[in-house]
Amino acid sequence: MMKLKSFLHWTVVLPIIATLFYLLGFLAYGVWGNVVGALLLFGSVLAAVHHAEVVAHKVGEPFGTIILAICITILEVGLIVSFMLSGGEGAMTYARDTVFAAVMLILNGILGICIWVGSRRYKEQFFITSSATSYLVSLVAILVLTLVLPNYTSSKHGPFYTATQLAFVSLACLVIYSSFLMFQTVRHRNYFVVEEADHTLHEADPPTVSKTVISLVLLVICLAVVIFMAKGLSPVIEDFVEQIGAPRPLVGVIIATVVLLPEGLAAIRAARNNQIQTSINLGLGSALASVGLTIPAVSVVCIVYDIPFVLGLDMKSVILLALSVFTVMLSLSRGKTNHLYGSVLLVNLAAYIFTVIFP
């Protein structure tokens, strides 16, 4: 009876219903299909957060946050590649715009809300400074190599890399990311775990192996539903953006927001539980994986299929990116947070979204 009740839990049933809803094509059934699809999408986000926490409880930190970041990144790559292969307007810049939107939303939005919410509740929250420094030194190098340097190379006109340059930068991203993973999980795992907080968060007994495996499978299903529902609803979002007269890049911001919801909600919940270290692991780990894994994967597809691939950001975006990175560096430089840091990051987020709508 207990096993039947667990199987019928909403976090199990809802992803299955959402998957069938998408595969059977109900998303195309007019307004009601879009409304039900949006509700199932949001429910899948909440279910993904639940299953991510089950897996994280079993494997411990920082492995739990790494699993969630990599799962979302793999599915994000699938979404980007499918859009690029389908061609159409904006195909050349879709990967760049999506990665840039994800990084800006993570650095300013997820981290800003986590710091603000946690500080309002606990005044100050403490984390290990070495962890933030490790994330940021890796992230800054990858961001400059992928989104800034293409504007200044001369082998090819415009913000493009040649195939050889793209291969080198992709390899550099993978080397940096794999070196960071080795640093995080083997040599200096203690930099990313606050033991006292970890015991407080995991007072209950860890889940069984079978429950963990089921949650991992359902986590992947939930994230896939989020990605494909977002893709299916993108025409509706595009029509809405056109109707309000906003620029096309706003579509990428909206879709990136939906894709990042599982990690965002998990990070905010951790901050509310006085686990700001977990919030930082989720946020910065996701940003690092989003750039360090997405760009190499998309580069391979573009080289194989000879697809033009714009990487370099315009000057306005470079300034906003530099402002965001610099603010995060200062906010995480002392090993403790307060509501001012969160407020400034949220203002940066508002400035980014404002300049997307009113360029």
Copy the structure tokens of residue 321.
């990116």
For residue 47, what pLDDT is reported? Answer: 83
Residue 305's beta-bridge partner residues? none
Confidence of residue 228 (pLDDT cuts 50, 70, 90): confident
Tell me the domains of the chain and their CATH numbers: 2-357 (1.20.1420.30)
Q: What is the DSSP letter of 208?
A: P
Instruction: Report DSSP letters for 274-314, one per residue.
Output: T-HHHHHHHHHHHHHHHHHHHHHHHHHHHHHHT---B-PPP
Query: Looking at this protein, which amino acid is placed at residue 339?
Result: H
| pTM, full prediction | 0.83
Helix (H) or strand (E) holding 233: helix 209-243
> 81-96 pLDDT, tens per residue?
777 776 656 667 878 8
Mean pLDDT of 338-359: 94
Which residues, including other chains, have CB under 8 Å from residue 187's CB and lie 6 or more apart? none
> 144-170 pLDDT, tens per residue?
999 999 999 888 777 889 889 999 999
> 176-223 pLDDT, tens per residue?
999 998 898 888 888 888 764 444 444 456 778 888 888 888 888 887
Q: Which of 45-59, 208-222, 338-352 has the highest mean pLDDT?
A: 338-352
Rounded to whole angstroms, the Cα distance separating 171 from 62 reads 24
pLDDT > 90? residue 113: yes
pLDDT > 60? residue 7: no
Angle (nearest 5°) at CA 24 between 21 and 26 = 60
Mean pLDDT of 313-337: 94
What percent of the chain has pLDDT above 90?
36
What percent of the chain has pLDDT above 70?
92
* Residue appearing with tokens 């061609």: 87
